Amino acid sequence: MGKHLVLAGGGHAHMVTLANLNRFIDKGHNVTVIGPSPYHYYSGMGPGMLGGVYKPDEIRFATKHVVEKQGGVFLQDKVDHIGPEEKNIFLESGKTVPYDIISFNVGSYVPQLNVSDDNDNVFSVKPIEKLRQARVRILELISEKKAVIDVIGGGPASAEVAGNIWRIAKDHSKYMPTIRIFSGKRFMARFPDSIRKRAIKSLTNRSIEVLENSYAGEIKAGKIITESGQVYESDFIILALGVKPSPVFQKSGLPVGPDGGLLVNRYLQSTQYPDIFGGGDCICFKEQHLDKVGVYAVRENPILFENLMASSEGAELSTFIPGGDYLLIFNMGDDTGILKKKWLTFSGKTAFIIKDYIDRRFIKKFQSIE
């Protein structure tokens, strides 16, 4: 008798499984995919979409179309919580979906500051598709005046976003905005100086301010109020505070890691419930710490597919091996990048060309099955 496989989320770690849903269905299994949008946007190209390097349809995968084309069911919805004992998923719409096997790739979210009013000029870097709306609003603002645009966060996302905001103004406006990064204590603190200094130089050479020792505490009526009480006027704000795993797992009483991510073993399988799997930003890998970078979701892809198939068929599971050091390249918004791989670090146009090639190849590989 066939099993009911549910994929919660259509992100990077589910790409190989999504491309091979017909193999489950051909074996008599039913497949349901739950996602908040008919499309999945590739986060590695998100800042480039903000800056106008890429069009939205160049960085997205048609999840709904691919699922239905292969005979699966697509539900445009979000998981609220899960009942692991009765094997039910409870959706935000109020629907309940039973499962035999489920895999989570529901990603992460950007924590929100205390925003005291409903402000149309406050955006977050996630979900990625929101950057389309942010671009439209920025274009409106900078066509009217010399605006003040702020990015809150001290990691690479804030560097990429600020650099690509600069690109919007350079390409489309006579008014160059004031662009600031509120980076907290130290900008790009978890990276070596070889990366940090290059990022700061790239930004400050374009008059983008990097404000260190400045923690934003509250956003109120077009103002940023720091934890020390300083007040900064602002026309537009993007939150890039770092990501946290989806709260679904804690809400469901599932075993989680220190960050709240689904705790999984070497098979990418829940440490308590063998019919629950996961990958990407939403998991905590028990064997070792994994950075919240897309490369691990990509590496998890084939193992998740193999283990979901094996679990459906009663076969032996495969072990996920995270692998060694990974390639890091940041898109600085001016057709340059910063690249790091083991001992090698360099910046410039070549770094961006490499990133652009890798990103386009990755998304086209999966778009080709549409």
Say which residues have a Cβ less than 8 Å from residue 107's Cβ, sequence separation at least 6. 9, 11, 126, 246, 280, 281, 282
Question: Mean pLDDT over residues 336-357, rounded?
Answer: 96
Domain limits of the chain? 4-36+77-109+243-326, 114-242
Domain 114-242 has CATH 3.50.50.60: yes
Q: What is the pLDDT of residue 193?
A: 94
pLDDT value of residue 183 = 94
Average pLDDT over residues 35-62: 95
Measured distance CA(88)–CA(141) in Å, rounded:
46
Residue 112's pLDDT band, with cuts at 50, 70 and 90, is low
Q: Do domains 4-36+77-109+243-326 and 114-242 have the same CATH topology?
A: yes
Query: With contact defined as beta carbons under 8 Å apart, do 137 and 40 qualify?
Result: no
Q: 164-192, pLDDT tens digit by residue?
A: 999 999 999 888 999 999 999 999 999 99
| Segment 57-100, tens digit of pLDDT | 999 999 999 999 999 999 999 999 999 999 999 999 999 999 99
Question: Which amino acid does the sequence have at 201?
Answer: K
Token pair, residue 247, equals 């709260």
pLDDT bracket for residue 113 (50, 70, 90): low
Q: What is the pTM of this model?
A: 0.92
Q: What is the pLDDT of residue 305?
A: 97
Residue type, 183: S
Residues whose CB falls within 8 Å of the CB of residue 357, separated by 6 or more in sequence, listed in order: none
pLDDT tier for residue 265 given thresholds of 50, 70 and 90: very high
Which tops the pLDDT comparison, 35 or 108? 35
pLDDT > 60? residue 118? no
Gap between the Cα atoms of 68 and 74, Å rounded: 7
| Cα distances (angstroms) measured from residue 84 to each of 107, 111, 264, 273, 305 | 20, 27, 15, 7, 21
pLDDT at residue 117 greater than cutoff 70: no
Within 21-167, strands assigned E span: 30-35, 40-41, 60-61, 73-76, 79-83, 88-91, 96-98, 101-104, 108-109, 114-115, 122-124, 148-152
Tokens describing residue 203: 């930004």
Q: What is the CATH number of domain 4-36+77-109+243-326?
A: 3.50.50.60
Q: For residue 12, what pLDDT is reported?
A: 85
